[in-house]
Structure 1
């Protein structure tokens, strides 16, 4: 038997910086993955006109390019988190990143709209494996005293992604690198993904949950079918002339979702691991918060698609012009988000979010008026005030809402509540993109100028459709404003901190390190 002498102090001092360096490199890897996911979710809208021109994709196919990603991401989030708890967060993170990289290559090499849609759905599913592991890996790698700084960096990366996504998409699309048009917006993920996989294999530490919840694949399947019974006919119905089967499918969707609810109750009684913890909806503030998140997601998904198409197909701007026009929105959103959490919400409570809804509403109405008043002569500088209002209002809502919604949720269910809340936002985005068939593209079709004719006439059709869609967005914001009255007037500081800690623990559980 061989014995080893205690390490000399010098050796211990050398080992500590090495371990410290490993975890900071690991942090850089997972933050890069988060940045890559967020950029990929926002980069596509700006390239949609280029994709349409290059591939001949129909408007419904373009809707699926964005909605397919959001839906696959949303439906896989909770399952992805549980798979990481069961089989190891590092393993699932690397698997998700590898799949995301392959899916990005398939997107960039797509030879048809159908192939692009399929690759985007795969991309969303792989993101659902990768993204839930990020916070768990941070939890494992950093002690409580350092997590505040780390989560601050995480928030900064998210803000940076929101600002950079449209600009990167615009630069790559308008740059037409190697004559590839829009394809580099996906191919740029390849070197980033390969580097992330190599560094992740070396520097990430494996961990599992000691008593992870079981998978609920049947629940996931039922929820997927129920949602597709609404989303598919909503997206395809306009192009197919609104056939009877579409209305039958949408009418039957609530029945399928009722089956899902019944199964979830049985699953909870059987092994306590349903996909959705239905008892959470007995908490009024949580149920209202989920409603806010859903409607806000619908309004946001519809707005961002309409905004992009209005600028490029309605006003005739290039991708870079459109991307730069969005900078005031992004900067206002980032500034308002930071101010709301640090200064405004502790003093004024939910009134900050309600003010945000009203500010967004005023921005949407101003944009609606500008689109009708200036027509195809609208300039970026004229649009800027509306963009600032919309961005500032969004920042006042999205930053503080999670704490407010989770503040009255029992600590043991904080993790489940957080997962449901985040999933609901993604589902709302997918539904908003599907709703654009009625709120936007139906009006474009009605003018008879969607696919050709004089440039001015075609532009006018998109401007009319933009005005119509903005009324839908405004209506959604009015509903959001009303639902915000059901949230707590004020979240106690101690409660918020406790709930955040509980969510961290309940959502990921105490990690077990695996060598």
Structure 2
């Protein structure tokens, strides 16, 4: 796991060294590129399906494959950065991400595009965990407030601009390339980042990094593939027996993973997953919340895009502009929740967010049923704003709540596990789209049937999302009433990561650890 608490082995740039600001610009640009790539693809999915001739299951794998590779590789990427150097792994990651983007852009068939997206997710898993590790190794504590303020602005810009940029590039059809520029735009940015990063980023690594648990990585990846592949392809293949056997077998693999990690932890203290963390009630509940929340987001964002463009027949630009109120509401509510609401109301803010998000989903279902295929962007705006507010109230303070009871020495492991589970949930949600969305659509639709069938499937899928948010509300009762850093008189020397960073004088925004997605990143 990646940890930001260990000092770098090399001397960081001094306060008067301007190189550190060049390094900041480079790693922030890489984070921006990763975020935009996720959101930009979502808006172009219908165009990819029509122009590339991709099946519905291939469309799912264009998004789920990236999420799965990213989830499976995050832990490995963070650990490799600690062992071999964060600058080195960052350069490998951004170089591989750029190459994978080129392969996506020049894909000759859907199969090549899916494979290239999986490679892209794996390279992002090497690149993203190093970003904030490099920031922590490069900047002293008193400067990190300014740095993370800039980071938050970049993330917010990426969340809003990604769908719009994807819509514009698809609409413009540059050089007759259709959807391909949404990937090819990464090439000049990636090459510049690779060249400048090799010059301006200072190398750092953990002084006593643990060894990489290859068996643990293999078991996690195998278990996820055995679960997600038949879930995604099952409907298309008629739910064969081997699919049910594979999904049941994934539980056996995950059980073997737990047993192996327990033995490895007792033997050499370097497991992939620190199982002792699950004895902390708030962490165990928080992991469950992250998993289920990821499932809800994975379902919603894919079916939302398909509903607007396939069901309603909107252009990518029309759909991209429709999502702007949602993104702005998430960013605004996230800032208020961390700075104003959580210090005063604690856990109730997250629970209010779950109920608000569920209310927005139900309002969206009602409006979709009432206005039918004649629904407009202005009519969608109210439920989207309500949903955005609910999401913002959850995603920003959730990490602090989950980590508040985690011992300081396991903060890095806990942070990496939270983000990995979140991405697993997202991949699982994308797989479940085959059941809750495509399962409602007829196999052979006439043009006159497409709109009504997609609208019905959209409403059905959103019903599942609302039910999931109700489950999340109940799970949140196991979270601490107030994160440790917001408890008056809390012992900052003894507890979790939030307390540790408060003692160091770092602002709340600085508590996002390497690889941990922000509120705005979740919008993608």
TM-score normalized by the length of structure 1? 0.92
1:105-139 deviation digits (Å, cap 9, x = unpaired): 00000011110000000000000000111111101
8 Å Cα contact 2:58/2:114 also seen in 1: yes
1:125–1:182 Cα change, 3 Å: same
Displacement of 1:500: 3.7
Aligned to 2:469: 477
Match of 2:237 among 232, 237, 240: 240
1:286 paired residue among 276, 283, 287: 283
The 8 Å contact of residues 48 and 179 in structure 2, kept in 1 or not, is answered as yes
Cα distance, 1:243 vs structure 2: 0.6
Secondary structure at 2:204 match in 1: strand
> What is the CA–CA distance in structure 1 between the aligned matches of 2:88 and 2:116, rounded to whole Å?
22
Q: Which is bigger in relative contact order (C-alpha 8 A, separation at least 6)? A: 2
* Residues in 2 aligned to 1:501 and 1:97: alpha-carbon distance in whole angstroms: 32
Question: Mean Cα displacement is larger for which, 153-162 or 377-386?
Answer: 153-162
CA contact (8 A) 1:214 1:273 kept: yes
- Does structure 1 residue 41 correspond to structure 2 residue 1? no
Aligned to 2:173: 176
Total equivalences in the alignment: 488
1:425 alignment counterpart:
422
How far is the alpha carbon of 1:501 from its aligned partner? 6.2
Q: In the alignment, which residue of structure 1 is the partner of 2:5? A: none
TM superposition shift of 1:164: 1.3
Contact 1:293 1:425 in 2 (8 A): yes
Mapped partners of 2:503, 2:168: distance in 1: 42
From 125, 128, 137, the equivalent of 2:125 is: 128
Residue in 2 that maps onto 1:257: 254
Q: Which of the pair has more CA radius of gyration?
A: 1
Which residue in the other structure is 1:58 paired with?
Answer: 55
- Mapping of residues 399-410 of structure 1, within 5 Å: 399-410=396-407
Q: Which of 279, 284, 302 is the matching residue for 1:305?
A: 302
**Structure 1 segments unaligned to the other structure (5+ residues):** 1-14, 509-515
Deviation per CA, 1:352-403, whole angstroms, max 9, x where unpaired?
1111111110110011111111111010000000110111110100000101
- Partner Cα distance (1:430, 1:505) in 2: 25
Shift in Å at residue 153 of structure 1? 1.6
3-state SS in 2 of match to 1:208: coil
5 Å-filtered alignment, 1:88-107, equals 88-107=85-104
CA separation of 1:49/1:429 partners in 2, compared to 1, >3 Å: closer, same or farther?
A: same
- Within 1, Cα distance between the matches of 2:341 and 2:207? 40
Instruction: Please name the residue that 2:521 is paired with.
Output: none
Residue by residue over 1:428-470, the C-alpha shift from the partner in whole angstroms, topping out at 9 and shown as x without a partner, is 1100000000000111136x42xxx22x311111011101100
Change (3 A) 1:444 1:169: same
Aligned-pair CA distance for 1:159 = 1.7
Q: What CA distance in whole angstroms lies between the structure 1 residues aligned with 2:287 and 2:260?
A: 21
2:67 touches 2:423 (CA, 8 Å); kept in 1?
Answer: yes
TM-superposed deviation, 1:163: 1.2
- RMSD between superposed Cα atoms in Å: 1.8
Identify which of 200, 209, 213 aligns with 1:203: 200
Q: SS of 1:206's equivalent?
A: coil
Matches within 5 A, 1:96-495: 96-445=93-442, 448-449=444-445, 453-454=446-447, 456-491=448-483, 492-493=485-486, 495=492
Q: Is the 8 A contact 1:416 1:507 kept in 2?
A: no
Distance 1:374 1:471 in 2: 17
Cα deviation, residue 154, structure 1: 1.5
Please report how far the alpha carbon of residue 498 of structure 1 lies from its aligned counterpart in structure 2 after TM superposition: 2.1
Q: Deviations over 1:397-439 (max 9, x none)?
A: 0000101110001111111001100111111110000000000
- SS in structure 1 opposite 2:482? coil
Runs of 4+ in 1 over 6 A off after TM superposition: 501-508
Please give the alpha-carbon distance, in whole angstroms, between the structure 2 residues aligned to 1:56 and 1:159. Answer: 33
Shift of 1:156: 1.9
CA distance in 1, matches of 2:471, 2:216: 29
Preserved contact between residue 349 and residue 394 of structure 2 (Cα < 8 Å):
yes
Distance 2:457 2:213 in 1: 41
Q: Show CA shifts across 1:284-303 (max 9, x none).
A: 11000000000000000100
CA drift at 1:209: 1.1
